[in-house]
Amino acid sequence: MDTVAIIYRLATLDDLATLGALRWELDVGLHGVPDAPSDARALFATTIQSDLRAGMDRGTVLVWLAEMDGHAVGCAQLTWWPVPKARHPDRKRGYVTGVYTRPEYRRRGVARQLIELLSAYARDHAITRLLLSPSPEAVPLYRSLGFVPSHGLELNL
């Protein structure tokens, strides 16, 4: 059994390269990269880091990191935006994405703890609804954390 604890914290701009690597692993794990150009990883890293930097600078993107022995083992991202209503002018929504735990650290509660931290932040900052599009394997975790199916529609453009 591991004697080194997993540490959870908010990511900073200094963590952009680490976040890019974790997101690459997540995406490749879910979708693979068949027929990808040879520079796909570098392009992905540049794009994701640029997008994260912009959102983190605005304060509308927060990413939690899980670390063990100084190495990142997981992450979860919250992107939020205002959705004012006449009766609730300060209403906000959040989208949960990029939830990933490296395979060798799964089944240790890492994703659960990341989502609990993210959810606590959302509650404390008046984000009244969290949305996500989980993989089929992750649905039981999210259901156990109180997420329920929604009735939304999508339009692929």
CA torsion, points 28, 99, 49, 25, in degrees to nearest 10? -20
23 sits in which H/E element: helix 16-31
**Which pLDDT tens digit goes with each residue over 85-138?**
999 899 999 999 999 999 999 999 999 999 999 999 999 999 999 999 999 999
Residue ranges per structural domain of the chain: 6-144
First-to-last C-alpha distance (Å) of the chain: 48
152 vs 63, more confident? 63
CATH number of 6-144: 3.40.630.30
For residue 126, what are the contacts with CB-CB under 8 A and spacing of at least 6? 90, 91, 92
> Which residues share a beta bridge with 7?
67
